[in-house]
Structure 1
Amino acid sequence: MDLPMPLVLGMAIIAAALLLALAAPWVAPFDPIAQDTPNALQPPSLAHLFGTDNFGRDVFSRVIWAIRVDLQIGFFGVLFPFIIGTAIGLTSGYLGGLTDAIFMRIVDIVLAFPFLVLMLAIIAYLGPGLLSFYIAIALVGWVSYARLVRAQVLVLKHSDFVTAAKSLGFSHARIMLRHILPNALVASIVFSMSDIVLVILSGAAVSYLGLGVQPPTAEWGIMIAEGQAFITTAWWITTFPGCALVILAFGFSMAADGLGELLGVRE
């Protein structure tokens, strides 16, 4: 079976990012948080491929190590909303009635607020940090998965195989988990690939505002924020982490498009 080209390209970029993240201790030539102030703001050279920042830290090493942090943000930032949204969407769609009405009203309330504004409000209340970001993204991001799964369940619960399972006396839990859920997850899995892009960008934005990952940890959003004051004199501080962020987001976007094409799912 021929794989769609966007899927191949996207997975190649993701695989390269994973390899760099795993090999960071060997690929990065310097400690990402070690300061060397006499060599601060050095332009790209053979000694420092991406130059140095205002603290003399090697930008190339920080970009490589930051892949670990941003991939972690993308994975856990999607995993928790995926689990919560899937559970709510499955329960709401299958049971219907009052349960469905209550959950859908909660979805409407969450959707009434802009995504980033609500997330920033939660993080500001909980305090800056990666844990606060995960909690905020879980409380806000589950609604998309809940709506996707619910829509699939509403169709699947009237299917012949579900009717046959009910006639055989299977419990509701077995029907939901073993018969409906596997068929209802395809669209959500495809959506999660593109959602990783939003989560990584949101994590970078939150870190840029000082509410996410805290310095001196190497993270692309922090690096962009720290380099903005030197954009006219030391462009490399913000340019290289910005390019890395765009490339990784492009990889996940291509993978999502290719996976949707392969599985026949339109987002």
Structure 2
Amino acid sequence: MEPTADQTPVTGDGFPGSGRRVLVTGAAGGLGRALARAFAANGDRVALHYASRRAEAEETAAALPGGGHTVLGADLTDAARAGSLVEAAAEALGGIDVLVNNAAARTAAHPPVGTPAADWVAAWERHVAVNLLAPAHLSHAAAQRMIAQGGGGRIVNVGSRGAFRGEPDHPAYGATKAGLHALGQSLAVALGPHGIAVASVAPGFIDTDRVAHRLSGAEGEELRSQSPFGRVAVPEDVAAAVLWLASPQAQWSSGTILDVNGASYLRT
């Protein structure tokens, strides 16, 4: 029997162990799909958000273990839709215990030298809207819901190693991921008194369908050589880290930025 909102098993600190209500943004495929699978395999119920790839999101949801999952569409460049998405997820799941801010934009290359002004502005506006403002609005809405429910919650942001090493061809991506990390740390301090832990992961290159073409030839060799393990990440590598950060046991890691890049970039 699936746990209802009143039957959700909880740990000693009042935060659910499994049977949680989880919203994953950008869950149609790639890392988002792996995240949805990881939480569902943990016994959680998942709301899978998509922006435009509805069929893929529904396919992902249909293959998840367990039941009670739902698929929700929203354009996260519209600030008003962020709050609506959280409310829709909470309504479908009976509440919300975990938010994973995974949806992200990474437009065409836009180096500062050689990029026309109009393209430069468009790239920055797109990245700021999806990578920074949307997680901020989603986190605000989810926090209000978690506080009203009582018992705490978890917010996990998917950032990037590019926030630290620099992204010369994609500066808006690197900058907004750095902002996302900073947002997570601010929220960790602000929401801790309410039992809500907030953390981020900073992955390196992840082998997904959308970027698989880059792993052939010389570029693929260079990407794999960045890690001493001689490979790039698979989505499950990152999903496992997110699942742990969302667990009751990870409360004391609130505010952390966890590198998940196979030692391909080391911060000091």
TM-score, normalization by structure 2: 0.26
Between structure 1 and structure 2, the one with the greater Rg is 1
Q: Which has the higher helix share?
A: 1
Identify which of structures 1 and 2 has the higher relative contact order when contacts are C-alpha pairs closer than 8 Å and 6+ apart.
Answer: 1
